[in-house]
Structure 1
Amino acid sequence: MSNADDRFAPPERLVRALGSEPADEAAREWLASLPERVRDVAERWELTPERVHQPGGRSSVVVLVHRADGTGAVLKLEKPGGDVALEQAALAHWNGLGAVRVLRAEPEAGALLLERLRPGVSLRSLAEQKAVLEATATLQRLWVRPAEDHPFTTVADHTARLADALRKRSEEPWAADVRAVVDEALELRAALTADSGEAPSLLHGDYQQGKVLAGDRAPWLAVGPRPLVGERAYDLAWLALDRVDTLMASPGAAAIVRRRVAKLADALDVDNDRLRGWVLFRAAEAGVRELASGGRARGELLLEFAGLL
């Protein structure tokens, strides 16, 4: 492999993330071939690569590039089995309103060319109060009606799969201490998906402060959606878990947790009880998943957060 290829080797964060999953020959081959894939797409799309963005994500590699006309852009290559087509469809539907624009796409190759934002400057660089204000303003722009023939999974179907996995993990001996929280999370999820009481919106699906980057066309734009269709409270729930480590270390964490949920519900006009339910479910599901994969510290933190609700 050439030195030029070595410059586009996968970031350590991506290697660790894929390495923590069950053995997957396709993922290993993809990681090994990434430099060649970057070079191939760059040549076909007339791009001049600069560097791989660090630390990057856990399921894709992001390369800062220049187009033939000299403008900056971002080349994103997704791991095998990724949902590039769905990401492209969501970004195309938003058409730059609150989200990054797609300049070119080749879903079968897992490739997206996106407008250049400031990859190192997310809402997490702001003070908490200002970050939440900007995050809620941006999220509100994303909540639009989906197209009639949209390809997106519903919140009910997506969380049904999460709930099945959560239920199985909670039956393991190591999960005995968290079963009460898990049981409540599963009951809440069943009640919440029975009837949302609102028209479904297109949702980001993985909305958090780190997924909102500074831009030139607009101050802040969302990236990296895992789009779903459903009620808005589900999309807002993950935002309530932002900076969870700092929050849980604060005196009076229980009151702060409940106040945060209430403020987010009020800011975006969603039902407080429904938001609380989705926050609890998402925290419990993510917490148990972390414990199952060896992420004990974060898993316990998320489950403690869920328990305070």
Structure 2
Amino acid sequence: MAFEPPQRLVRALGELPESAHVSDWLGQLPGLAEAALARRGVQAQRVQAPGGRSSLVVLVRYADGTPAALKLAPPGLRPDRELAALAHWGGFGSVRVLDTRHHEEDGALLLERLHPEVSLRSLPEAKALLEACGTLRRLWVAPAPGHGWETVAERTSEQAEVLRKAPPEAAELASAALAAREELTAAPAEELLLHGNFRQGKVLAGERAPWLAVGPDPMVGERAYDLARLVRDRLEDQMASSAGAAGARRRVNKLADALEVDRDRLRGWTLFRAVESGNRALAAGRRRDAELLLEFAGWL
């Protein structure tokens, strides 16, 4: 079969700083996918589309008919960190890894098959947030001693450097976001394993559990950082609501209370992450996305 990467993946990888290396990887992808399938003795059924923004996912079957999913990501996106996080969770709250024997050779992940077309976004908003909170409770565990994951402070330090060069239209919000980050990282916070990229679309329906998280970008730090991305989920719906800024603040308070997270810390990380994402969208020419993100940040 043809292993044509979905356009969503091509566009997203093209926005990365190392996009030249990613282009090479995309060109080699058909051969890489064939080799990864052969090593694991599985047969491709179809490429998942529209798929994700950081990897190619191929739905596959073992010879005995058992379904699975093969995930291939560029080496620069550190699939080894994703594997380490999934192994640490051991399928509790997250997708399960089926086979790790060939990961060091090609970086591919062979995972249990979930239902890629059914995420929490298919549920009514209140129910989706309830299930999302339940999933996060299972994922927030202590990391192993001597873990090799980035901390929230380290990850956001790099992002802060970019934000300091924000264009004039985002400069005021960038200053507010940088000040919030400075305050949030001034004192030691929790050290828990975080999903790092958690939102409703990253939680899929499964067979052995109703909902399981996929696609972590793991790091170690406080829960408020992980929860911050969920605050702005279904952003266009929030922006279209008549509730406006008051609605955004209520959402922060509701999620903070549901997961016993400090409201001010959640608001601060939500502000930082929204402005950082908006600045990246501006740099990539995604003006509509940038405007939504920065307006939302202004509400906070």
- Pair 1:124 & 2:115 matched: no
1:140 partner amino acid: R
Q: Structure 1 pair 108/149, CA: closer, same or farther in 2 (3 Å)? A: farther
Q: Whole-Å Cα distance in 2 between the matches of residues 68 and 306 of structure 1?
A: 50
RMSD between superposed Cα atoms in Å: 1.3
- Pair 1:111 & 2:87 matched: no
**Which deviates more from structure 2 when the two are superposed, residues 107-116 or residues 87-96?**
107-116
Given that 1:202 and 1:229 are in contact with CA atoms closer than 8 Å, whether structure 2 keeps it comes out as yes
TM-score (normalizing by structure 2): 0.96
> Shift of residue 80 of structure 1?
3.2
2:180 aligns with one of 188, 194, 211: 188
Q: Whole-Å Cα distance in 2 between the matches of residues 19 and 178 of structure 1?
A: 23
- What corresponds to 2:206 in structure 1? 215
> Shift of residue 196 of structure 1?
4.6
TM-score (normalizing by structure 1): 0.93
Report 1:52-63 matches (<5 A): 52-63=47-58
- Pair 1:87 & 2:82 matched: yes
Unaligned runs of 5+ in 1: none
- Pair 1:152 & 2:149 matched: yes
Report 1:258-277 matches (<5 A): 258-277=249-268
Q: Whole-Å Cα distance in 1 between the matches of residues 188 and 231 of structure 2?
A: 19
1:213 match: secondary structure: strand
**Which deviates more from structure 2 when the two are superposed, residues 286-295 or residues 18-27?**
18-27
Unaligned runs of 5+ in 2: none
- Pair 1:65 & 2:57 matched: no
1:81 match: secondary structure: helix
> Shift of residue 108 of structure 1?
4.4
Given that 1:283 and 1:305 are in contact with CA atoms closer than 8 Å, whether structure 2 keeps it comes out as yes
> Shift of residue 9 of structure 1?
1.4
- What corresponds to 1:289 in structure 2? 280
2:61 partner amino acid: H
- What corresponds to 1:176 in structure 2? 168
Report 1:217-232 matches (<5 A): 217-232=208-223
2:41 aligns with one of 24, 42, 46: 46
Q: Whole-Å Cα distance in 2 between the matches of residues 160 and 20 of structure 1?
A: 20
1:158 match: secondary structure: helix
1:278 aligns with one of 239, 259, 269: 269
> Shift of residue 151 of structure 1?
1.0
Given that 1:84 and 1:107 are in contact with CA atoms closer than 8 Å, whether structure 2 keeps it comes out as no
> Shift of residue 191 of structure 1?
0.7
Q: Share of identical aligned residues, percent?
A: 58
> Shift of residue 68 of structure 1?
2.8
Given that 1:233 and 1:275 are in contact with CA atoms closer than 8 Å, whether structure 2 keeps it comes out as yes
Report 1:196-211 matches (<5 A): 196-197=188-189, 199-211=190-202
- Pair 1:78 & 2:69 matched: no
Q: Whole-Å Cα distance in 1 between the matches of residues 198 and 17 of structure 2?
A: 26
**Which deviates more from structure 2 when the two are superposed, residues 277-286 or residues 16-25?**
16-25
Q: Whole-Å Cα distance in 1 between the matches of residues 18 and 104 of structure 2?
A: 24
- Pair 1:237 & 2:228 matched: yes
Q: Structure 1 pair 21/152, CA: closer, same or farther in 2 (3 Å)? A: closer
> Shift of residue 291 of structure 1?
0.7
- Pair 1:96 & 2:96 matched: no
> Shift of residue 57 of structure 1?
1.4
